[in-house]
A and B are shown apart, each in its own frame.
Chain A
């Protein structure tokens, strides 16, 4: 099944509202609602669709539910994504570090959280972000962008080609 806006209607009703205002124990529900799969929590609400795009979730057939604009003490407003029957390699999941550096993963098997993972910012970013330098070759020809991560805390990337820095404020996901 291809992911589409229609599928929003298949999202459980509670995710459209702020967790805690309707459900008594929303946290448990958010984790245990899928039998097997991955829950990605603590995604900044504004970057939900970027995470979906980076992980290619809009091109897979697995059942996916998500909620956004949920209260978060750390982020202010967060999103959560649940992907049934899908488990990610670390290298794949670390690709979202650019837009969701605080994301936490819960690996679910038979409704139980069997493993928790944190996103690690990789040393090399390939083909995810756009170089902010309009004079960079990657903005002229079909070149896969490549960056060395020069700062992992406030993510800053040095372009492999033009050597200019792209930081979080001017980062665009391809």
Chain B
């Protein structure tokens, strides 16, 4: 098993076949989510900064597979508050567990931890850098709702400058001849380095400041939050804040297969009147995170 004992730090660590294999296994866990596959295994969940969805999703995945959890939910309750280095923390935890799930605010900390640990490390978010399990659950959700990952038209809406989830998803989806539409205010446009990445691959992308008129072309709308604090000029925020709110009335002419994704938490960028529309998929997407993480845990431990 090629991925046994390997860490998952960045989505680029995985080949396309490995990604598809994880998605296939996740589909199996969706059919049968409860088992004893992790019986006798101890998983350390080290959350150096607060997290709700990711942590609960991992813990739910581990519990449903019969594994045990040790760890902490924020660094104030760990030895880090006493000044311990990440190196020492990982060396110590490494001997207590079979696998480490880690979220840390410092970028590159997961790669560093994976070099220190002898057990696999799963990056559950390292600052603004990578969050590969989110990307895998997004891919799972896209494939499940569209039946394929090939040749899709993906709309990414909102904060495309700082959002790590859109960057990782964009880079992952570029493997399947995706057409991208980036919809963002000027201050939060997709950074040039990512557009250059698509240019080099010869993939099509289009940039817009509004998406009301083009929404009918979308297969997937990936919404993100436009945060007030990202704007240097608060007046600019006031001008654009409503442009990036998705409402049910906007969905009338959308494709039947179109689905709306959001990494959550949502604040007001998707109006609650969308929630009852069958095209709203963000809560199912969060549930898919459990199946995907079950697949990742078992793959890295060499169980399936």
**Please, how many residues of chain A have a CB less than 8 angstroms from a CB on the other chain?**
17
CB distance from A74 to the nearest CB of B (A): 28
Q: Mark A2-34, 1 if CB is under 8 A from B, else 0.
A: 000000000000000000000000000000000
The reply to whether A143 and B107 contact each other, CB–CB distance below 8 Å, is no
Asked, given contacts A143-B112, A161-B112, A163-B10, whether A137 binds B130 with beta carbons under 8 Å apart, the answer is no
Asked, given contacts A136-B106, A141-B87, whether A161 binds B111 with beta carbons under 8 Å apart, the answer is yes
- Write out the residue numbers on chain A whose beta carbons fall within 8 Å of the beta carbon of B107: 133, 135-137, 161-164
- Write out the residue numbers on chain A whose beta carbons fall within 8 Å of the beta carbon of B105: 135
The reply to whether B10 and A135 contact each other, CB–CB distance below 8 Å, is no
- Write out the residue numbers on chain A whose beta carbons fall within 8 Å of the beta carbon of B193: 165
CB distance from B103 to the nearest CB of A (A): 14
CB distance from A136 to the nearest CB of B (A): 5
> Looking across the interface, which residue of chain A has its beta carbon closest to that of B12?
A163
Asked, given contacts A133-B107, A161-B107, A165-B193, whether A141 binds B112 with beta carbons under 8 Å apart, the answer is yes
Determine whether A159 belongs to the interface, using a CB cutoff of 8 Å to chain B.
Answer: yes
Asked, given contacts A161-B108, A162-B129, whether A141 binds B85 with beta carbons under 8 Å apart, the answer is yes
Determine whether B42 belongs to the interface, using a CB cutoff of 8 Å to chain A.
Answer: no
Q: Mark B1-40, 1 if CB is under 8 A from A, else 0.
A: 0000000001000000000000000000000000000000
User: Of residues 146 to 174 in A, which have CB atoms within 8 Å of B's CB atoms?
Assistant: 159-165
Asked, given contacts A162-B129, A163-B129, A163-B130, whether A137 binds B10 with beta carbons under 8 Å apart, the answer is no
Determine whether A36 belongs to the interface, using a CB cutoff of 8 Å to chain B.
Answer: no
Q: List 28 A-B contacts (CB under 8 A).
A: A135-B106, A135-B107, A136-B108, A137-B86, A137-B107, A137-B108, A137-B109, A137-B112, A138-B108, A140-B86, A140-B106, A141-B87, A141-B112, A142-B87, A143-B112, A160-B108, A161-B107, A161-B111, A162-B107, A162-B108, A162-B126, A162-B127, A162-B129, A163-B10, A163-B107, A163-B108, A163-B129, A164-B107
* 7 new A-B contacts at CB < 8 Å, known A136-B107, A141-B87, A142-B87: A137-B86, A138-B108, A143-B112, A160-B108, A162-B107, A162-B126, A163-B10
Taking beta carbons and an 8 Å cutoff, which residues of A are in contact with B? Answer: 131, 133, 135-138, 140-143, 159-165
